Amino acid sequence: MLTETLIAATKAGAAELQRFFNGAFEISHKEGVNNLVTEADHAAERAIIGVIQGAYPDHFILSEETGEIITTSEYKWIIDPIDGTVNFANGIPICCVSVGLEKDGQVIMGAVYNPIMNEFYFAEKGKGAFVNDKKISVSKKTKVIESCLVTGFPYTYLDTPNGPLQVFEKLIRKGIPVRRLGSAAIDLCWVAAGKFDGFYEHKLQAWDSAAGFLMVQEAGGKVTDYAGNDYSVYQPHLLATNGHIHDELLAIINGGPVQ
C-alpha cells in the first residue's frame, strides 16, 4: 500500500506539472530574485498531499511550499512538488516531482518523475533502483579527472572557504566537465543511472534530496556529507558518486588539489 500510494502521489503531482508546462501560470518569488514558486508548484503539491492523506491521514508531511504537517506517525513524506522550478517556468524540460518516504528517520522509498522526458525513477531500500521499471546502476569510472560531474549553486551565495564557485573553478580549470542542470533530484537520478559519475552541492533542503539520494545508494553508489559522514537530508551538504571517485572528489571539495 505504501508503494502504491507513493507512485500514485508522484504521478498526481506530475500530471499537474505536465498540465501547466509551457502554459500560462502565475509566478511569485521567495528568497533571492530567481528563487521562484509558481501556480503549478502549488497545484502539484495539493495533488500529492491529497493522495497521501487519502490513504494515510495520520502521516507526517514535509513539503517545500506548505512546510510541515506534524503528526506523531513514524512515517514522514518529504515532497518537492516541482524540483527545477526555474527550468519549468522557462519551458526547460529538466524538472520533476520528487517524493521520499521516511520511517523512523530513515528514508525507505523514493520516486522522482519527469513526465516531460518520460523518466520515472523509483527506489526502495534494499531492493535496488529503477527507471521505467528497468534496473539501473552507477558508472564505473575510477578517477575524477576522467569523470563527468554535475553540481548546483545556491540562490544566495555561500561566502565560505571552498565554496561552490571555488570548487567549480578548480575542476573546470583542469578540463573536467561539470554541468549545472538546475534540478538536484534529476542530478541524483542521473548519477544513479550512470549518466554522471558524481554530484555535489553546498546547500540543499530535505525535499531536494530525500528521494534522489536513496536512488544513488540503491544503484550501488555512495552518498555522504562533506565530512564523509553518512548523509542526512537535514544538513545542507551532499556528495553523491559512483563510489569509486568518492574519496578523491571529497578531498577536492574540502580544498585538496585536482590530480
Judgement on whether residues 164 and 75 belong to the same structural domain of the protein: no
pLDDT of amino acid 23: 76
Q: CA-based angle 85:4:136, to the nearest 5?
A: 65
For residue 258, tell me if it sits in a domain. no
Judgement on whether residues 125 and 13 belong to the same structural domain of the protein: yes
pLDDT in tens, 122-132: 999 999 999 99
Judgement on whether residues 79 and 106 belong to the same structural domain of the protein: yes
Judgement on whether residues 16 and 123 belong to the same structural domain of the protein: yes
For residue 169, tell me if it sits in a domain. yes
Q: For residue 242, is it left (φ>0), alpha (ψ between -120 and 50) or beta?
A: alpha
> Which of 81, 102, 135 is a domain's end point?
135
Judgement on whether residues 13 and 126 belong to the same structural domain of the protein: yes
> To the nearest whole number, what is the mean pLDDT of the chain?
95
Judgement on whether residues 155 and 178 belong to the same structural domain of the protein: yes
Judgement on whether residues 78 and 169 belong to the same structural domain of the protein: no
- Which CATH number fits the domain that encloses residue 165? 3.40.190.80
For residue 42, tell me if it sits in a domain. yes
For residue 66, tell me if it sits in a domain. yes
Judgement on whether residues 166 and 118 belong to the same structural domain of the protein: no
What type of residue is 115? P
> Which of 104, 135, 166 is a domain's end point?
135
Over residues 74-82, mean pLDDT = 98
- Which CATH number fits the domain that encloses residue 55? 3.30.540.10
Over residues 139-144, mean pLDDT = 98
> CA 124, CA 179: separation in Å to the nearest integer?
28
Judgement on whether residues 162 and 104 belong to the same structural domain of the protein: no
Over residues 15-31, mean pLDDT = 80
pTM of the model: 0.95
Expressed as residue numbers, the domain containing 241 is 144-253
* Burial of 137 (C-beta count, 10 Å sphere; 0-12/13-18/19+): middle
pLDDT at 113 over 90: yes
State the pairing for strand pair 178-179/128-131: unpaired
pLDDT in tens, 214-259: 999 999 999 999 999 999 999 999 999 999 999 999 999 999 999 8
Q: Say which residues have a Cβ less than 8 Å from residue 134's Cβ, sequence separation at least 6.
A: none
189 with 121: CB under 8 angstroms? yes
For residue 82, tell me if it sits in a domain. yes
Judgement on whether residues 17 and 34 belong to the same structural domain of the protein: yes
For residue 259, tell me if it sits in a domain. no
For residue 23, tell me if it sits in a domain. yes
pLDDT of amino acid 54: 98
Secondary structure in 3-state letters for the chain: CHHHHHHHHHHHHHHHHHHHCCCCCCEEECCCCCCEEEHHHHHHHHHHHHHHHHHCCCCEEEECCCEEECCCCCEEEEEEEEECHHHHHCCCCCCEEEEEEEECCEEEEEEEEECCCCEEEEEECCCEEEECCEECCCCCCCCHHHCCEEECCCCCCCCCCCCHHHHHHHHHCCCCCEECCCCHHHHHHHHHCCCCCEEEECCCCHHHHHHHHHHHHHCCCEEECCCCCECCCCCCCEEEECCCCHHHHHHHHCCCCCC
> Which of 110, 135, 160 is a domain's end point?
135
Judgement on whether residues 46 and 166 belong to the same structural domain of the protein: no
pLDDT in tens, 161-209: 889 999 999 999 999 999 999 999 999 999 999 999 999 999 999 999 9
In terms of C-beta distances under 8 Å and separation of at least 24 residues, what long-range contacts does 128-135 make, across chains too? 128/218, 128/219, 129/192, 129/214, 129/215, 129/216, 129/218, 129/219, 131/189, 131/193
Domain count, the chain: 2
Judgement on whether residues 207 and 227 belong to the same structural domain of the protein: yes
For residue 166, tell me if it sits in a domain. yes
pLDDT at 38 over 90: no
pLDDT at 25 over 80: no
| 204: its cell numbers | 540543499
Instruction: Indicate the angle between helix axes 184-192 and 206-218, nearest 10 degrees.
Output: 0
Q: For residue 129, is it left (φ>0), alpha (ψ between -120 and 50) or beta?
A: beta
pLDDT in tens, 43-73: 999 999 999 999 999 999 999 999 999 999 9
